[in-house]
Amino acid sequence: MSTTANILQEKTITVGTGDAARDIVVITRLGVAQDRPALVWLGGYRSDMAGTKAIEMDALAAEQGLAAIRFDYSGHGVSGGDFTKGTISRWTEEALAVITAANVSKIVLVGSSMGGWISLRVIQEAKRLALPVTVEGLVLIAPAPDFTSDLIEPGLTETERQSLLERGYFEEPSEYSPEPNIFTRALMEDGIKNRVLTGLIETGCPVHILQGMKDPDVPYQHALKLMEFLPLDDVVLTLIRDGDHRLSRPEDIAKMKSAIVSMV
């Protein structure tokens, strides 16, 4: 494979204007297979582009001679912006800006957890805006569409509801970080506006969902629910009996890579 496939470029793009402007850091791997789609990583809530799955996707791109695009949402990783101002709308806007700036005609979206929700919103918005890019495939890892209304809101305690009303946010311990997760009222309210599990979703491309059955954050039943809204697409669901939310073990990574290769 040409060494061109091993060249990484880092750049920063500004999304939004005025007080809403934020600097988004993007790392692009140049690909030699110009006729094949670029891989785009869409990470989860509070994750970043240096995580195991994102790095492994990038490594696969290098092996295959594909272009690969990774970035951090505002308030995440090395990108600028205030995390507490983050919403699905803002992070979707950033994903669309990154894809547009990459100037690629074909992509495969690889979305993890919240990134699965944003992947679906990216497809919807790209169609609405008539962007000149075709989504060739969708790989969703423990996807969490509508997680604010479907997974978080029903389980809120009275204390957490009161905190949302009075302080504008609530905190909960994180299994993945010493810092607590922060969920803002803006995120919760914006999530309602971005719900996708409300009617038929037509992605126009093959979809492969990887879901752990021991996922404590996104129950596997949520993946089954998502499938109900994708009757028009070619969808494969792989349930991993002992898989957790991260799905970052070598055997999980192998499944992710196999799903990606099937679409490029």
Reported as a single tens digit per residue, the pLDDT across 13-31 is: 999 999 999 999 999 999 8
pLDDT at 34: 81
**3-state DSSP of the chain:** CCHHHHCEEEEEEEECCHHHCEEEEEEEECCCCCCCCEEEEECCCCCCCCCHHHHHHHHHHHHHCCCEEEECCCCCCCCCCCHHHCCHHHHHHHHHHHHHHHCCCEEEEEEECHHHHHHHHHHHHHHHCCCCCEEEEEEEECCCCCHHHHHHHHHCCHHHHHHHHHHCEEEECCCCCCCCEEEEHHHHHHHHHCCCCCCCCCCCCCEEEEEECCCCCCCHHHHHHHHHCCCCCCEEEEEECCCCCCCCCHHHHHHHHHHHHCCC
Residue among 81, 181, 204 at smallest CA distance from 134? 204
CA-to-CA distance for 48 and 42, rounded, in angstroms? 9
CA distance 171 to 181: 6
Residue 23 corresponds to which amino acid? D
Amino acid 3: pLDDT: 47
Q: Which residue has tokens 């569409």?
A: 145
Digit-coded pLDDT (tens) for 97-137: 999 999 999 999 999 999 999 999 999 999 999 999 999 99
* Cβ(111)–Cβ(208) below 8 Å: no
Instruction: Please report which confidence band the pLDDT of residue 5 belongs to, taking 50, 70 and 90 as the band edges.
Output: low
46: left (phi over 0), alpha (psi -120 to 50) or beta: left
Average pLDDT over all residues of the chain: 95
**Nearest by Cα to 40 from 122, 114, 113:** 122
- Mean pLDDT throughout 217-241? 97
Query: Are residues 199 and 229 in contact, defined by beta-carbon separation less than 8 angstroms?
Result: yes
pLDDT in tens, 176-199: 778 888 999 999 999 999 999 999
Selecting from 3.90.550.10, 3.40.50.300, 3.40.50.1820, 3.20.20.140, what CATH number does the domain 3-145+204-261 have? 3.40.50.1820
Question: Is the Cβ–Cβ distance between 114 and 242 less than 8 Å?
Answer: no
The whole-angstrom separation of Cα 96 and Cα 15 is 10
Question: What's the rounded Cα separation, in Å, for the pair 73 and 212?
Answer: 25
> Do 260 and 57 touch, CB atoms closer than 8 A?
yes
